[in-house]
Amino acid sequence: MSITDRENRKNLLMNRSTPRSTESLAVRNLMSQSSLRRGFLLVALPLVWFVLPPAQAQDGGYARGNTAEGNFALNAIITNSANSGSDDTAIGDAALFNMTSGFNNTGIGYQAMHQTTSGAENTALGENALYSNTTGSNNTAVGTSALQTNAADNNTATGWRALGVIRPAAKARLRV
């Protein structure tokens, strides 16, 4: 390598020192301001989370032997202590949503036994199983939408939309 080659190398752009200008300082100030903003958000968001917790965040047991897991499961009992439902289990979003005074019911699945208010001894397993059952008792529904519009007692349905519409039998009239 000759002396001329070395001198030419020193003149290349990559070997020159970069002068500091006011533009680079302005960029550095902007970066530090955005870091402060990010830091503020990182502190503020957790504080808001603890001040405004999500609805029904409790896991497990409630008063009178009730158990609920899922958004708005056993909603009417949990949000109103005057409701007397007891020994009910609701697992799934909006399972046993309207239950007020029924007892010994089990609803597992999205909106299982959603409209039930005072039915007793019912078991619903599956999305919308026993959905519209308001006061019916001693029913078992297994499967999506099984006994979905039930309004009677003592029914068992297994399978997708099994016995989807059940209404109470008309009372027989005695003629004398």
Q: Where are the domains of the chain?
A: 3-51, 56-168
Of 136, 101, 100, 99, the closest CA to residue 114 belongs to 99
Q: Coil, helix or strand for 42?
A: helix
Confidence of residue 137 (pLDDT cuts 50, 70, 90): very high
Q: Between residues 97 and 18, which one has the greater pLDDT?
A: 97
pLDDT above 90 for 136:
yes
The β-bridge relationship of strands 67-69 and 60-61 is antiparallel
pLDDT above 50 for 98:
yes
pLDDT above 60 for 13:
no
Q: What is the mean pLDDT of the chain?
A: 79
Query: What pLDDT was estimated at residue 176?
Result: 44
Task: For residue 135, give Cα distances in angstroms to 87, 115, 127, 150.
Answer: 16, 9, 19, 9
140, 145, 151, 155 alpha-carbon torsion, rounded to 10°:
-30
Confidence of residue 107 (pLDDT cuts 50, 70, 90): very high
For residue 110, what are its two tokens? 């999205």
Residue 106 main-chain phi, psi, to 5 deg: -130, 120
For residue 147, what are its two tokens? 């006994």
Query: What pLDDT was estimated at residue 174?
Result: 42
Confidence of residue 60 (pLDDT cuts 50, 70, 90): low
In percent, how much of the chain has pLDDT > 70? 59
Query: What pLDDT was estimated at residue 109?
Result: 96
pLDDT in tens, 65-74: 999 999 999 9
Residue 142 main-chain phi, psi, to 5 deg: -125, 115
- Are 157 and 146 a contacting pair, CB within 8 Å? yes
Query: What pLDDT was estimated at residue 172?
Result: 41
- CA dist 105 and 113 (Å) reads 9
